[in-house]
Amino acid sequence: MSGQHSEAAAGGASGAAEPGAGADARADSSGGTGADTRPPGRRPGRRPGGGDTRGAVLDAARTAFAAHGYEKTSTRAIARAAGVDVALLHHYFGSKRQLFMAALDFPLDPEFIAQMILAGDRSGVGDRVVRYALGLWEDPPVRERLLAMLRTAATSDEAAELFRGFVHGELVPRVSAVLGPDQAGLPVELVMSQIVGLAMARYVFRIEPLASASVDEIAALVGPALQRYLDPGSAAGAAASG
């Protein structure tokens, strides 16, 4: 799954040493009259690159993203709150986007979704989207994470803000970019609302016969509904766009 990929990329370097640590040690020990008793490579007031450092960065990132949103949160501010150098933050996570995805722990990659939309005929986007979404929910480990996210977002302002930040900062802009300006914003959010409602009814409330229906049965009924939101020539698409 794409979210798992971003987490793996984020966690793969967790055992590496802090970048720039040697230079920091030389700077700390030069020019003083007394002996420097700090351990080599350790900056005062900064957490070394090991132990629970990655977890501290994720905790600080979740707090910052929830309080200020995606756009107004800087990696420098997150690093400061976590007590690490910003270079170490980039060493673990690579970019602000990857850090955000890891903090959200949400198995959706907007870039993958954009490529999926482009992978076939425009008239089949609705069908591909609903099959992709159901494919995630049908995978038990992913389903557990999605269920936890929905339940947490329903009761936690912080989790809800993280989810909104993902939608507005990552998902909607990337998908809208490949669909075109006429379908930016509201049509994409309407599709998402249909998917979330479908998931709640099928996997949380387990309403029958929806809960027992096959993916093919659901895609045949829901796919055309999503397509109407995304088709600028349809009444639903025109109303959502304008």
Phi-psi region of 51 (alpha: psi -120 to 50; beta: other; left: phi over 0): left
Instruction: Give CA–CA dist 221/224, Å, rounded.
Output: 6
154-207 per-position pLDDT tens digit = 888 877 888 888 888 888 888 888 888 777 688 888 999 999 999 999 999 999
- Contact between residue 104 and residue 63 where contact means Cβ atoms under 8 Å apart: no
Nearest residue to 99 via CA among 53, 124, 129, 62: 62
Confidence check: pLDDT of 121 > 60:
yes
> Please, what sign has the CA dihedral across residues 158, 173, 146, 73?
negative
pLDDT at 37 over 90: no
Spatial CA neighbour of 150 closest among 205, 100, 102: 205
Res 2: pLDDT: 42
Query: 44-57: per-residue pLDDT in tens?
Result: 344 444 558 899 99
Q: Please state which of the ranges 74-88, 106-120, 203-217 shows the lowest mean pLDDT.
A: 106-120
Domain spans in the chain, listed from the N-terminal domain onward:
2-104, 110-241
pLDDT of residue 6 exceeding 60, the answer is no
Residue 223 has pLDDT above 80, yes or no: yes
pLDDT digit string, tens, across residues 17-28: 444 444 443 333
Average pLDDT over residues 114-139: 93
From the candidate CATH numbers 3.30.1330.10, 1.10.10.60, 3.40.640.10, 2.40.160.40, the one assigned to the domain spanning 2-104: 1.10.10.60
The rounded distance, in Å, linking the Cα atoms of 67 and 48 is 26
110-241 placed in CATH 1.10.3470.10: no
Confidence of residue 239 (pLDDT cuts 50, 70, 90): low
